Chains A and B, each alone.
Chain A
Amino acid sequence: METEEQNTESSKAGFIRIESVTKKFSDFVAVDNVSLDINKGELFALLGGSGCGKTTLLRMLAGFESPTSGRIFIDGQDMAGVAPYDRPVNMMFQSYALFPHMTVSGNVGYGLKHEAMTPAQRQDRVKEMLSLVQLSHLADRKPHQLSGGQRQRVALARSLAKQPKLLLLDEPLGALDKKLREHTQFEISNIQYKMGITFVVVTHDQEEAMTLASRIAVMDQGVIRQIGPPSHIYENPSSKFVAGFIGSINMVGGEIINVKGDTVEVLAPTLGHSLQVSTSSTFSVGEKVSLAVRPEKISISRKRPATTANLLKGTVQDFGYFGKDSLYRIKLPTGHLLSVNTVNAQRLSGEEATATWEDEVYLTINRDAAMLFKGDA
């Protein structure tokens, strides 16, 4: 029992292996010695800004580019020299790349021409795919007669029709408006769960990556900066870059002035104050550090809290009310601005409204809330 379990586990792990892959375009290194394992049935996201190499990596998985060095394995098979049309991989293109001269069902069924299937089987598969993306009623339309969201779903159905081992999605939600994005996000997750196909999503949108993916690789300048589940990357970024890239963050420079067990005291001149921060890394007194706090991890109140530790005082410089939450920009006596985000969990009547412009407020930063990175900000 146990060995069998282990076997399936090990065959799941490393379903896609990227082994020290480098891709150079003449002098430009697009992907720099990247190694990565993606598990079977996983929804994996490559996240990064434009030019970080994520799309090049995706195109190498699809076979449109070949690595300058390094190897790619899909389900144990070395992909070196395997043409795109021979790979068990399909791709959903950012522009959707629907064939304008074919109908919706023509598009969805196109890849099935090359499969050993009877015409009836092919038709059934097309119907099945169209019902999966809820487009059965539009089977005879041409792409230009569809809305953006409908085109996106045709592209998804087309890329799933051949039941690839690996589906690549290039900015799948990029061209959709906000409402549609949220809906489609869940739809993609559901379809992925239903079909059990391994998905690799490329995106520059951290929200998209966080809601879709079970694991994220953050890329920058051709290098993977951190790999992990969304919550891990958000709460425990491994570097200043990742911390700044994912979510918003307040980052200031400081110096360690005291070390006591796993708690250090950091003097941050821009905050005009020293803060107690608990950390798992080791720091020595006098070391330069960057102190980072997420806006929602700072609590704000108009009354002076009982604690005096990690307490800052400031005035509300700017204030945005978004319904479910509010965003403040608090000006500290040093002139530095801190972003603070509060969830409006309580329903407020007009009189007892929370802090507003020019109010004096107190900020507390829990010692677990702040993160420390080596080196100055």
Chain B
Amino acid sequence: MNNFLEIKNLSIAFPGNHLVNTLSNFNLKLDKNGSLGIVGESGSGKTLSMLALTRLLPKQAIVSSGSIDFLNHNLSEIDNLNFYKNFSGNKISMIFQEPMTALNPVYTIGRQLMHTYMYHNKVGKKEAHHKSLEMLSAVKLSDNLERMKQYPHQLSGGQRQRVMIAMALINNPSLLIADEPTTALDVTVQKEIINLIQELKEKFGMALIFISHDLGVVSQVSKNIIVMKRGEIIETGKTYNVLNKPKKLYTKTLISCLKNLNTKRKKNKFKKNDKIIEVTNLSKFYKLPSKLFSTKKIINAVNDINFSVYEGETLSIIGESGSGKSTVAKMLNGLLAPDRGEILICNKDINKLDTKERAEIIQPVFQDPYSTLNPNHTIGYIIARPLILNKPFLPDEIRNLVLKTLDLVGLDKGFYYRFPNQLSGGQRQRVAIARAIILEPKILICDEPTSSLDVTIQEQILQLLKDLKQKLGITIILISHDISVVKYLSERVLVMLDGKIVESGDTISTLQNPKKEYTKKLMSAVYEI
């Protein structure tokens, strides 16, 4: 009982047809001032274990066994009222993944901070106000007096996450749990937040549990690591040992997936074929609706960009959210009309092409595997639909082609009559790719095709895209914020910032010797193991 935190044999089950442990035999030991990282894919139970610690488990969850000792208390003997008063928020704090939804949108930042403080400490408003200001400067938010009066929607994602951290630390907890605190943020912001968390950990002398799906980030933050899969602990130990001498197969594949993505490939010798896409002076503005007494605001989503794509190459567009890369993708696809400039595809203006003609030249693959497929259609119909709409084929021919394409993207013919909700994220993305390639287009536009998938699945999908490119000779335009994905797949790269192209050139040389300030910042934010 001398440990700061010890969890023994924790098992959690959800009632269903038969009771299956979603989390089984979870063990954990943490010293005061210690740090621990929990890594795993989605559904591996990493968050669940921490929710059990903070008593935030969903109502139907059943804790079937296990004990939690924290600061010499057996937590299972403490009743809820006592727990919420003396432990959660006070000694144990948690930072959540979505800074957008974790703050209450109708109260000011200041009020939320002060209330958190006043709930656990018997202090007046003045003192709470003072403490809140102190915390805001601890998380390095400028103009903190102004910030106190602002509402969450007036802050950026990174700023909100800082406020969340301030709120979590205001009661001086001895344990901070960070549940994927940077997943929803841009890479450069991610680095700042992680540095901040590490700094504050030293300053306040807390213990830290850091949950993430990203092995690179976790290895940076924590001394010890737990690797989880399907509710079980696969491997645990010192971070350095686990990463360099993994004992279990799963850890090895996880690490090799990451390393594969990060391998320094030789410079691809790429013959410059004919130009397949030529973009000149492309611009797109968004007008914000004018309010009473204020002039119309115009946002330059894409501002006067020029580039061309050569047949058979893979071109990547990198940039943070809001840099205009997705807008470019939509315009290239003809789904959005540009305000100025033109896009020539095979020497034809994309916006003057007939939709059917366009469909046979250029096809998109979208980011979110959960909204990319119509939930009411079977997989077979989803893949067949481009053919039904565009080609005068007989039903039998279509069926054969669909089965062939299913095979090409690595899916069994048993998926033909399935509905999208029966498929995993990776399988859905495969179906989306199948739908895009069945018309044999010349160009495939992939808008963050892997950013919502787990690392191992991510590698499989990228491998698939690579294979398809070799087999079919498709030109791929890849939009991504993830440097390793870009490195893995593409020959040339464009770096975008605020609607403009900052830097462009060969992938390897551009990313290894960045010339512009922004590209350097982007590259320094990448964590490698």
Judge: A and B partners, yes or no.
no
